[in-house]
Amino acid sequence: MTYYVITFANTHSAIITQSHLESYANICIMPTLREISAGCGISIRFSSEDLDSIKTGLKTLGLDPNMYNLYEIKEKDGKIFPSPIA
Amino acid sequence: MIIDARGKNCPIPVIMAKKEIDNKSLSFSILVDNAIALENLKKLAKSQGYKVEFKGVNEDYSVDFISGETTNSVFDLKESSQDQETDLSDSKSQWVLFMAKDVIGEGDPALGESLIKMYFYTLSQGNCLPKAILFMNNGVKLPTTNPQVIEHLRTIADKGCEILVCGACLDFYNLTDQLQVGSISNMYAITEEINKASKVVTL
C-alpha cells in the first residue's frame, strides 16, 4: 500500500493547512508516523491521485516551504517505509 | 397482555416494556409505530433474556416478548449474525469507549477536532478495539457529521465493535436521519454496556 503524507513543523501550520486543503482533495488527518522523526504530531494523509491537487493547494496557501515536508509512504509486511519527496 | 405504546416517543416504549419485565411478566406484546422503538425494544429484550417476535405493516409493529424461549422470527438470521459479532468482540476485549464530546479534551475546537480524527484513525488501524463505542450528547455529532470519523467508525464496526448512539441526543440535535454508522440506542443499553465493561474510557 502506498500513500502520501504532509508533516509540519508546528501544530498551527497543520491545522491551517488541513482546513485549506479540504477543498482541494480528499484528505485524512492522522498522527505523524513514528518512523518520521521530524515534524509535529499532526499529519495530513492523501492518495497518489491527489498529489498534484495537494501541491497546488499548498502553493495557493502560501505556507513557508520550510514549515512542512511531503513523504511517500510504502507499507509492506506491516513495516512502514517513508521517503521524502520534493 | 398488550401494551399500546403507539404515538409515544423514545424512550417511553422501552420504559413501558421494562416495567412489564420488572413485573415478572413471562410474555406480553407491545404496539409501537416507529422503527427506532422497534430496534430499542429488540435490544431491551436481548439484554433482559427475552426472545422477541415482531410483525409489522409499514411503521406499525406488534412486538411480542417471550421469556427465555426460542423464536422463529424472520429476522433470526440477522440477529444471530449480530450475536456472533458481539461474541467475537467479547473474547477480544471488555472495555468500552464513552464519547460525550465531538472533540478531545477542552481548549481550542480546531485542535480538539484534529485530535479526535487522529484518535479514531489510530484506533481503526490497531487490533485493540473496545467492545462498544457509546456516543452521547455532543458525541453524536461524530457518527453523523464528521466524514473522516465516520469512515474510521465503519472500519471499527466491521471488526466487530458495537457502536451505540443515544437516540434522545440525535433527536435533540436534529441528527436522527443523518446517522451514518452504528445503531440508535437508549440509556438502558448504554448504561448496561458501561456496567458490564471492565474499563470505561472517556476522552
Q: Which DSSP string corresponds to chain B?
A: -EEE-TTPPTTHHHHHHHHHHHTT-SEEEEEESSHHHHHHHHHHHHHTTEEEEEEEETTEEEEEEEET-----TTHHHHHHHHHHHHHHHHH--EEEEE-SSSSSSS-HHHHHHHHHHHHHHHHHSS---SEEEE-GGGGGHHHH-HHHHHHHHHHHHTT-EEEEEHHHHHHTT-GGG--SSEEE-HHHHHHHHHH-SEEEE-
pLDDT in tens, B94-129: 899 999 999 999 999 999 999 999 999 999 999 899
Residue numbers of A between 51 and 80 with CB closer than 8 Å to B: none
Please report, for chain A, the start and end positions of each structural domain, with discontinuous segments joined by +. 2-85
pLDDT in tens, B154-200: 999 999 999 999 999 999 999 999 999 999 999 999 999 999 999 99
- Nearest by CB to residue B111, choosing from A11, A19, A30, is A11
pTM of the model: 0.69
Main-chain dihedrals φ then ψ at residue B192, nearest 5 degrees? -60, -40
> Would you say domain A2-85 falls under CATH 1.20.120?
no
Residue A1 confidence (pLDDT) above 50: yes
The ipTM of this complex is 0.82
CA distance A43 to chain B (A): 9
Q: Do residue B117 and residue A29 have CB atoms under 8 angstroms apart?
A: yes
- d(CA B161, CA B99) in angstroms, rounded, equals 14
State what percent of residues in chain B have pLDDT above 90. Answer: 59
Chain B residues within 8 A of A41 when measuring between CB atoms: 118
Hey, what domains does chain B have and what are their CATH numbers?
2-67 (3.30.110.40), 87-202 (3.40.1260.10)
